[in-house]
Amino acid sequence: MSKYAVKNMTRETIGLIGAGRMGLAQIKHLVNAGFAVSCCEQADTQQTKALALGAVLRESPAAVFAESSVVYIAVGFDPEVIQICRGEHGLLSSGRRDGVVVVNSTCDPELMIALGAEFAAQGIEFLDIPIARGGWAADNGTLLAMVGGEQSALDRVTPSLSTFCSDIKLMGPIGRGQVTKAINNLLLWLNGVGLLESAQIAESYQMDLEYLRAVLMLSSGRSAAMEDWSKMTFTWAAKDMQIVQQMMDRYDLDLELLKVLGTRAQTAKNEREVRHAQGKDWINAGR
């Protein structure tokens, strides 16, 4: 039987495009809450995982939207979001004149504003809702949703959104969710790079990094990056800071610290891995 075989769906169907690290967690929570999930995913391995969680697969975003009241987009980069929305078999080609499209990806705010207008022209509501707190929060259903859009649209998606988000905050019109996420991310990476560099100062004075971290966790220097250091991989740091740079350029903002952070974000992931392997880390430092 084809993996795309149609199943009888009598429950409300929620669409999800992109069954990656976050998307799979979203599928799990949606299915557990009693929703039917229609999914589009390109990678065979991720398709198998989505099926195992109870989703059904469709061959295109348009096919997902044809049977879903709400569609969540959970992919990594702006070009993927653009293809999902504007592509030959994308959401805008579905023929729908109702429903809600939600972008959970971290994107350029201006792209969200443009897509919002395109969907509105077809009678479709649109929200940018980037999500924060990482994969462990996705697994636990305790993500933070930062919402850009109208309250009426948010009300329509809250029953499904709340299955994987424990905190949902409306930040203003379309695009403001992404602005909030960008600021969140730059503060996260600012603290993360600060921890990489301050470790070198402490190391120069032969200090025990693990003990120093324990003391700093009691101080005003405490941060989410420090608290969750064991989970900090810097995987998305470079991409996140590229978005921040685009925002700075758009408004001609000359912010020196953030420009330096953008450069450091390019090397932070490798630097963290090397220091950890050498036993020069804030956790399991080996000293």
Q: Is 95 exposed, middle or buried (0-12, 13-18, 19+ CB in 10 A)?
A: exposed
Q: Is 269 exposed, middle or buried (0-12, 13-18, 19+ CB in 10 A)?
A: middle
Q: Please give the single-letter amino acid code of residue 7.
A: K
Residue 284 has a pLDDT of 72
Query: Which of 197, 103, 189 lies closest to 148, judged by CA?
Result: 103
DSSP lists the bridge partners of residue 56 as 38
Query: Whole-prediction pTM value?
Result: 0.93
Q: Which two tokens stand for residue 11?
A: 């429950």
In angstroms, the CA 60 to CA 114 distance is 22
For helices 268-277 and 176-204, give the axis angle rounded to 10 degrees: 40
Residue 270 has a pLDDT of 96
Residue 10 has a pLDDT of 52
Query: What is the CB-side half-sphere exposure of residue 96 using CA atoms within 13 A?
Result: 27
Residue 225 has a pLDDT of 97
Average pLDDT per block of 10 residues along the chain, 287 residues long: 41 97 98 98 98 99 98 98 98 96 99 99 99 96 99 98 99 99 98 98 97 98 96 95 98 97 96 93 69
Structural domains in the chain, sorted by start: 13-174 (3.40.50.720), 179-277 (1.10.1040.10)
Query: Which of 250, 249, 268, 26 lies closest to 143, judged by CA?
Result: 26
